[in-house]
Structure 1
Amino acid sequence: MVDEQHGLVFPSDEEGRRSTTALGRSVVADALRPVDEVGARAAERETAWRGEYLLYFRRLVEAGLGAPEDALAVARAGLDSLHGRMRVLGDDGEAPLSAWPGGTEGFDQVEVTGAGERVEELVLPYRGDRLCGDGLRRQVDRWVEAGVVEPSVADAVGTVVDNPGWLRLEGHTVAVIGAASEMGPLQALTRWGARVAAVDLPRSGLWDRVAETGRAGAGTVVAPVADSVPGADLLADVPALVEWLAAQPGTLVLGNYVYADGATNVRVSTAVDELSRRLLATRDDVALAFLATPTDVFAVPRDAVEQATERYESRSAMSKTIGRPLRAASGGRLLRRAYAADSDPGLNDSLVPQQGPNYALAKRLQRWRSMVARHEGAIVSMNVAPPTRTRSVVKNRALAAAYAGAHRFGVEVFDPSTSNVLMAALLVHDLHTGGGPRHDHPWQDEAYAAAHGGLWRAAYAPRSALGLAALLGIGAARA
């Protein structure tokens, strides 16, 4: 259930309850219905949604693997369902999302000009080093060889290294929604001299950090202001934000970097999606940017399947000796091979039960919008980000322990300082290359330049090793 309701809310039932489970179950069922009626009916009738949602989020990807039109049908139906069901709570009661009134006053604007020296080449902080040029290329090549990133990451990063003038993003305004996010590109973009429209909650502590980052950089940071307070509430201010962002100069890049705990994550992600939808209808030069979570379900290329299969088959004698009784004792749940050997594409299921169905829906919503917008001709940067030690992750003890032990299973967990510069570089690449190469099927667009940390190419299915990784990482996580 959801408390402290205002602005964008979950729909209420006849008794006035706002159930996140009912909403999630219904949206997933609606998304499946165009291509998987059996799956849709099963989702509708699922009585243990919080325990069984993993199956249905996997099924959403499986259902779209046939023709490209199937994936698009799932995405469109999911978006339509969510936007049709969510409501806006106002003084006159609830209204549909499409009728969100523009009753809030428009925003003024505050501007911060950076006084720092512009960073004129791509420099990646990594384990105490600052990598650039050939040193950076060699590190990315090592990640490719280790299966930590897809080979196309090396291509994209190398192109940015070859074109350092791209970093400034001349002629663009990048709207960083969730400007204070650890995974957001605010610091990298300002150091490179870009113009950023920063949107986050109207809290002094958040804005102080954003303004400090802007002053230390070499670009320009603008932010919406109401009643002399910088910031905006996404749950209430989408109509006013549309007006403010629509007036920004240059090509507008709408970057979604929001995160909130629990059900609020679905609400703020839906708000950003409504913001995106309205801006795409208002301007013809809007690009979208997203970071996909690696802890989701993705179709992966055949060479990823082959590398994972080779690792499984060549694992040490000790691993085989330990693995057999563990699999037997767990009913086959522990240390399962990642893929059937002939899978093309493979299906990587890295969903983490501890993150919950609301997190899964919020992140899947972004993938659906990315897919539909790209198909309709918009420039879209949607890249899978690596597992990263952000505060929101490590405060969960089970996840923190699993991340601490992940290296034992071929998965590299990144520091935030590395992740956000790497992902900002991939954003720059995409904006200068029309969103990157176009592929025949949407799953191939998602797999391009994926920095999954090794989850796609490890020997074991990720969830079958998660508990053991956590057990092995408990001590390191506490330290």
Structure 2
Amino acid sequence: MAILSGVNEVVFPRGADGRRSSSDLGREVVADALRAADPAAADAASAERDWRTGYLRHFRALVEAGDGYAVAEAGLASVRARMRVDRDDAGDAPLTGIFAADSRAPGTVTAAGPGADSRPPGTVTVVGSGADSRPLGTVTVAGGEKPERELTVPYRGELLRGDALHRQLDAWVAAGTIEESCAEMVRAVAAEPGWLDLSDQRLVVLGAGSEMGPLPAVLGWGGTVLGVDLPRPDLWARIAATARRGAGTLLAPGTSVETAGADLLTGLPEVARWLLGVEGRLVLGNYVYAPGAAYARLSAAVDALCTHVIEARPDTALAFLATPTDVFAVPGDVVTQATERYRHRSRRARLGHLLSAERLLTPNYPPGANPGIADSLVPQQGPNYALAKRIQRWRASAARRAGTTVSFSVAPPTRTRSVTANRLLAAAYAGAHLFDVEIFEPATSNKLMAALLVHQLRNPRPAAAEAWRDEARGAAHGGFWRTPYQPRSVLGLAALRGLPTTLR
């Protein structure tokens, strides 16, 4: 079974008091990143006493500082230098040395669609591995579907394709739900169905069970997916069932479907060894999530894995999904539309703004800002979530500038299990439509983001002169960027209006 010991566990560094503090780590990393572009902002972050509530302005400062590449490089360097590996009795060691450990690779589980071999659909076969490793094997689960050769997107009970898909893309653009560049990418993929066949790539889905990840779509298109997720039998039963319904091939570390999986916080060297043993061009996709402080640790671990794999296999591509509830620099036309909407807001909105002493229903941007700062951070998600997502953004920017092919997309707000588990966020999402924000269902987001992944892999672009321009391209932010109101200024109102829906 691919459950790995506590040796080599990725952890936060110990402070002077001996405690491992996620707040201390976050404060120090943000300050280090800011110091590369705005020393005064760095000092302010370093002096922040209540990081759990005061982090918002400092994460905004990371974007306002302007030099996105310098900030990214400094932030990543700080994470690498500060994070530690707990080696049990041997004590802490730098994260940078984790891959020097001599660890054996996990086994391999293979779930294949039709055409992979001559076995009947649904069969499971275990093949032994070499005698010099732990008891490993390969399990093949043959699916029964033919590869999809047309881009379809499920949406509100319909399966959009062709003209219907184009009309919906136009509607989303007109409503300010997605950027025109996002619609253009999806249209291009729809016009080139041959791009959907990713059998020439080896897509690694870290977080194989993620509702937002591309695993179901790519398997449906007949591609090969290397899935990594926690060793939980119920999770892998669901993932294997998805593979059986697909047309591609799923690989996972383990000895059987029931024992598949690996913990990236404790088994990073083993997972790296396993990935590097797979032939073909790797696309390393980061779709992981963990609650609380574990997410920041996990993001640091995956970042270390990315750099290690790229060093060993320079042709490796990277893939990320950004959350819309973050801070981004946005083009002037975004600001113009949001400002016009604010200028034409209702009398009720104007009155609410005044009665709240101008705390509610505030404008999203100052008029004429170019670029504008779209600040959609949600306090309820906390500083660990913000840091975890920012590490991913930094890696995307730094890798693209270094010449690595990078797929990066701002994903729409989506009713995933992790979001709806928070009652306030679930209520706010239920009322978000009142403020020109559309919340997507997982199946819709999943397929749209997979289409953007395909486009970006088939059409790699060099890094822009300014990092924020690459982040803004192809964004499907759900309307957060173009709403007339600063999102936090209407969060409570949206939650109040949406609460009855969540109680049904």
The TM-score bracket by the shorter chain reads over 0.9
1:107 aligns with 2:114: no
1:247 aligns with 2:244: no
1:93 and 1:318 map into 2 onto residues whose CA distance is: 61
Question: Does the Cα contact within 8 Å between 1:173 and 1:250 map onto a contact in 2?
Answer: yes
Q: Is the partner of 1:457 in helix, strand or coil?
A: coil
Q: Is the partner of 1:362 in helix, strand or coil?
A: helix
**CA-to-partner distance for each residue in 1:100-141, whole Å, 9 max, x for gaps?**
142432122111112222111111000000001111011011
Question: Does the Cα contact within 8 Å between 2:220 and 2:246 map onto a contact in 1?
Answer: yes
1:166 aligns with 2:195: yes
Question: For structure 2, which runs of at least 5 residues remain unmatched after alignment?
Answer: 1-5, 114-142
**CA-to-partner distance for each residue in 1:24-52, whole Å, 9 max, x for gaps?**
10000110111111111111111111111
The residue number in structure 2 matching 1:260 is 290
Question: Does the Cα contact within 8 Å between 2:33 and 2:74 map onto a contact in 1?
Answer: yes
**CA-to-partner distance for each residue in 1:444-470, whole Å, 9 max, x for gaps?**
100001000000000111111111111
Which of the residues 396, 403, 406 maps onto 2:422? 396
1:96 aligns with 2:94: yes
2:463 and 2:93 map into 1 onto residues whose CA distance is: 38
Q: Is the partner of 1:11 in helix, strand or coil?
A: coil
**CA-to-partner distance for each residue in 1:410-459, whole Å, 9 max, x for gaps?**
0000000100110001000000001x475331101000010000000001
Q: What is the CA distance between 1:368 and its match in structure 2?
A: 0.2
The residue number in structure 2 matching 1:360 is 386
Which of the residues 437, 451, 457 maps onto 2:476? 451
- Between the two proteins, the alignment pairs up a number of residues equal to 466
1:77 aligns with 2:74: yes
> Partner amino acid for 1:222?
L
> Partner amino acid for 1:444?
R
**TM-score (norm. length: structure 1):** 0.95
The residue number in structure 1 matching 2:132 is none
Question: Does the Cα contact within 8 Å between 2:400 and 2:462 map onto a contact in 1?
Answer: no
**CA-to-partner distance for each residue in 1:273-323, whole Å, 9 max, x for gaps?**
111010110012100000000000000111110100110011223332333
Q: What is the CA distance between 1:226 and its match in structure 2?
A: 5.7
**CA-to-partner distance for each residue in 1:226-247, whole Å, 9 max, x for gaps?**
6983111101221122221122
1:364 and 1:15 map into 2 onto residues whose CA distance is: 27
> Partner amino acid for 1:255?
G
Indicate how the Cα distance of structure 1 residues 213 and 15 shifts in structure 2: closer, same or farther if over 3 A, else same.
same
1:340 aligns with 2:366: yes
2:347 and 2:17 map into 1 onto residues whose CA distance is: 60
1:300 aligns with 2:335: no
The residue number in structure 2 matching 1:416 is 442
The residue number in structure 1 matching 2:125 is none
Question: Does the Cα contact within 8 Å between 1:190 and 1:218 map onto a contact in 2?
Answer: yes
> Partner amino acid for 2:381?
Q
Q: What is the CA distance between 1:477 and its match in structure 2?
A: 1.9
2:348 and 2:308 map into 1 onto residues whose CA distance is: 57
Question: Does the Cα contact within 8 Å between 2:7 and 2:266 map onto a contact in 1?
Answer: no
> Partner amino acid for 1:107?
P
Indicate how the Cα distance of structure 1 residues 16 and 306 shifts in structure 2: closer, same or farther if over 3 A, else same.
same
> Partner amino acid for 1:402?
A
> Partner amino acid for 2:229?
D
Question: Does the Cα contact within 8 Å between 1:172 and 1:249 map onto a contact in 2?
Answer: no
Question: Does the Cα contact within 8 Å between 1:297 and 1:347 map onto a contact in 2?
Answer: yes
2:359 and 2:9 map into 1 onto residues whose CA distance is: 43
1:174 and 1:258 map into 2 onto residues whose CA distance is: 14
Question: Does the Cα contact within 8 Å between 1:386 and 1:413 map onto a contact in 2?
Answer: yes
Q: What is the CA distance between 1:16 and its match in structure 2?
A: 2.2
Question: Does the Cα contact within 8 Å between 1:113 and 1:219 map onto a contact in 2?
Answer: yes
2:348 and 2:62 map into 1 onto residues whose CA distance is: 37
Q: What is the CA distance between 1:6 and its match in structure 2?
A: 6.7
Q: Is the partner of 2:253 in helix, strand or coil?
A: strand
2:462 and 2:169 map into 1 onto residues whose CA distance is: 20
Question: Does the Cα contact within 8 Å between 2:35 and 2:41 map onto a contact in 1?
Answer: yes
> Partner amino acid for 1:134?
D
**TM-score (norm. length: structure 2):** 0.90
1:144 aligns with 2:164: no
2:347 and 2:82 map into 1 onto residues whose CA distance is: 54
Question: Does the Cα contact within 8 Å between 1:102 and 1:240 map onto a contact in 2?
Answer: no
1:157 aligns with 2:186: yes
1:138 and 1:439 map into 2 onto residues whose CA distance is: 30
Question: Does the Cα contact within 8 Å between 2:425 and 2:495 map onto a contact in 1?
Answer: yes
1:324 and 1:386 map into 2 onto residues whose CA distance is: 31
**Pairs within 5 Å for 1:25-104:** 25-63=27-65, 65=66, 70-91=67-88, 92-100=90-98, 101-104=100-103
The residue number in structure 1 matching 2:155 is 126
What RMSD, in angstroms, separates the aligned Cα atoms of the two structures? 1.4
Q: What is the CA distance between 1:5 and its match in structure 2?
A: 9.6
Q: Is the partner of 2:438 in helix, strand or coil?
A: coil
Indicate how the Cα distance of structure 1 residues 375 and 438 shifts in structure 2: closer, same or farther if over 3 A, else same.
closer
